[in-house]
Chain A
């Protein structure tokens, strides 16, 4: 009896230390991750001078809403926001359409030449034509300076295609297909009525992967667009934030303007980080439960 109690006690004590260390380590880790985010938030409300002199670190100083006011006054930022939403929604829809159908087809053992097709697809993952040939292709397709240039060129990501194919291979067994065929179901019907409804996790993950990629994409805009009213948010933000460095190299700008821009860039820097990442931060909790599952989708099971 006594021995038992001592054992329990010892177990509790050892557990206590285990938990204590756990909590401390995790709390520190949590704070390390949280602080930069927190800093961005308070810095976005502080006077930029206080931020760059390093006085802001725990609470906002000289609180000002000027940064946000300037952001929402700038028509280019609002146009950029609108464009990014269009590119993200439209682009992701197209991505899903092509990735899911291609993934499904490639997962069917009855497809002739499946291995060869897969090899060809993976080949594109490793080798590409390079920037200039790509530009020429987009130009000849007449997509230069159109929204299509933002959505079509990277329609299917090979990585995501492989994930989709693996998912279909392992979660939609061929037996299911055979059963459906017995009931007179064709491939299309099977895909639409059986495979897709069973792929909620996959679709969520693909939406997140593609959506984030579209949201952050600026290089295609930089290369293929030349009308400012088609510029996505990221290109607009980048222009504002890194102009200070570039213009010192650019020749001879009015110093008053330069100083004003440098001030403005400091002023809106943190606010813009928030404004541009809020949509996905807001979306994340809803997709997160699928996301954790999604990471393991590609893994081989059983």
Chain B
């Protein structure tokens, strides 16, 4: 009896346990089944439209351009037409441009994340940090599985993709290209050199080929009144320091990068701002400045002032894009023509070339995204070239059209309305991810494309062959070091340049102290960091 009881008790417990266990297995199986197919539940399609059969919400954080006037991007006709068929309900977080960077940092710090972030995560060290914290998800497999248009784009520009692969092999943010700044002729560090052909004609001069000829032309511009106003209002040469004449310093020795002050020779990173050639260049500028051949405001004027003088046509030689001296003078009347570098005393004729037309962080997917597959397909729809052109610039027939030759062209803004105002009233502008290719160049104002090609042909033979690229990757620690070390060194150099050229201090007397001080500021480490970045890049090749 007792034994029976015990047995019964045992059986009860046993059966209860068995029941519980099987129930748990069943439940967990059910749960697993449910979590295995959330994509099926929303009717996800691997290709074609709609992306999901069930309307699915996606939270997208994006910058907002000051010329945007819609109260929500969902009101855009281009969004309805192009993104509507995806069946994705977009919740836009539209952040004013001034606040965008701050808001991205805040979103990560507070972990209050959108599903997708458009642009703004350009710093690869930052991508690396958020990626390793699991806040950004790796994209390479998603692109490979679902990104048809993205794959096409990256197949055309393998460099672009490669530069976004971080140590460890992950890509946390899709890279793109800067569609307009053509790094063949300009970029953050370089500008074309334009010379006033009308003035040359009037004075019976040719485009200078040597340093001496260049100086003579500048003198003639100053003294022989090429504008014919009877007043010495001509400015023989102008630029916005530090961009400009340092591009010519290669004629005195090493090629000089006006921002990082390093160049590469035979694989070695060389610091240039303490070399004899650099000194000769600064001395040359000093003499030009003292003689009044250089814009006396070149170190102080802001862009508006610089452009205002250009629009009045006061410049003889100017380092700028076409917009400073107006497109009309460049493209129509050909008053300003591009000019190649001149032959220097060291017998070299070389032009600084700073390639690396890659802009990182076009789009990222965060850990908040429930369906990363949906997000990547959404981005892939945007990356389709025609879609992207329309989302960026506006509907066909409104702000752009396709001409008989199949080239995309801008339509003029109506009188009294600016171009930016005009296009942004019905399109995103460059706040959507830019996976653009050369087609964008065709979309510059008529004639610019031809002009860019023209300049390129003229200066390309003089390009420095071992350029310091702008897309080198610095680790987070290196970035941090550069932000103090690099900033100190660069601002010290900038300060001395201005003092020396403007004659506020004597370069000959200060030179050795300057070289010494640079060394004490940690020049060796500065060069080492850049060498590492360059080696890392080359080893991935």
Q: Which residues of A contact B109 (CB under 8 A)?
A: 132, 135
**B97→A246 contact, CB < 8 A:** yes
Within 8 A of A (CB), among B395-440: 410, 418-421, 423-424, 429-430, 434
Interface residues, chain B, with chain A CB atoms under 8 Å away: 61, 63-69, 71-72, 93-99, 102-103, 106, 109-110, 112, 119, 122, 177-181, 188, 302-305, 307-309, 311-312, 321, 323, 359, 393, 410, 418-421, 423-424, 429-430, 434, 443-445
**A52→B305 contact, CB < 8 A:** yes
Contacts A132-B110, A222-B102 given; indicate if A255 touches B321 (C-beta within 8 A): yes
A75 to B410: give the CA distance in the assembly, Å.
Answer: 25
Q: Does A128 contact B (CB under 8 A)?
A: no
**B98→A261 contact, CB < 8 A:** no
**B94→A240 contact, CB < 8 A:** no
| Contact residue among B94, B106, B112 (Cβ-Cβ distance under 8 Å from A228) | B94
Q: Which residues of A contact B72 (CB under 8 A)?
A: 227-229
**A222→B96 contact, CB < 8 A:** yes
In the assembled complex, how far is the CB of residue A200 from the closest CB belonging to chain B, in whole angstroms? 39
**A53→B309 contact, CB < 8 A:** yes
Q: Which residues of B contact A144 (CB under 8 A)?
A: 112
Q: Does A210 contact B (CB under 8 A)?
A: no
Q: Does A289 contact B (CB under 8 A)?
A: no
Nearest opposing residue in chain A for B101, CB measure: A246
Q: Which residues of A contact B308 (CB under 8 A)?
A: 49, 52-53
Q: Which residues of A contact B64 (CB under 8 A)?
A: 228, 239
Q: Which residues of B contact A132 (CB under 8 A)?
A: 106, 109-110
Contacts A52-B308, A53-B308, A228-B71 given; indicate if A252 touches B430 (C-beta within 8 A): yes
Q: Does A81 contact B (CB under 8 A)?
A: no
Number of inter-chain CB pairs below 8 Å: 147
**A222→B305 contact, CB < 8 A:** no
Q: Give the one of B181, B311, B430 with max A CB within 10 A.
A: B430
A132 to B111: give the CA distance in the assembly, Å.
Answer: 10
Q: Is the interface of A mostly helix, strand, loop or mixed?
A: helix
Within 8 A of B (CB), among A233-279: 235-236, 238-240, 242-244, 246-248, 250-264, 266
Interface residues, chain A, with chain B CB atoms under 8 Å away: 48-49, 52-54, 74-76, 79, 131-132, 135-136, 139, 144, 222-223, 226-229, 231, 235-236, 238-240, 242-244, 246-248, 250-264, 266
**B110→A253 contact, CB < 8 A:** no
Q: Which residues of B contact A251 (CB under 8 A)?
A: 119, 122, 178, 359, 430, 434
**B429→A226 contact, CB < 8 A:** no
**A244→B303 contact, CB < 8 A:** yes
A-B contacts besides A53-B305, A135-B112, A139-B110, 12 pairs, CB < 8 Å: A132-B106, A226-B95, A227-B94, A228-B94, A246-B98, A251-B119, A251-B122, A255-B444, A256-B410, A259-B323, A261-B420, A264-B421
Contacts A256-B410, A262-B304 given; indicate if A239 touches B66 (C-beta within 8 A): yes
In the assembled complex, how far is the CB of residue B360 from the closest CB belonging to chain A, in whole angstroms? 8
Nearest opposing residue in chain B for A54, CB measure: B305
A240 to B420: give the CA distance in the assembly, Å.
Answer: 12
A261 to B410: give the CA distance in the assembly, Å.
Answer: 17
A33 to B311: give the CA distance in the assembly, Å.
Answer: 33
Q: Which residues of B contact A243 (CB under 8 A)?
A: 65-66, 97-98
In the assembled complex, how far is the CB of residue B82 from the closest CB belonging to chain A, in whole angstroms? 19
| Contact residue among A131, A244, A248, A253 (Cβ-Cβ distance under 8 Å from B430) | A253
**B94→A222 contact, CB < 8 A:** no
Nearest opposing residue in chain B for A131, CB measure: B106
**A262→B303 contact, CB < 8 A:** yes
A36 to B72: give the CA distance in the assembly, Å.
Answer: 38
Contacts A53-B312, A252-B181, A254-B429 given; indicate if A261 touches B67 (C-beta within 8 A): yes
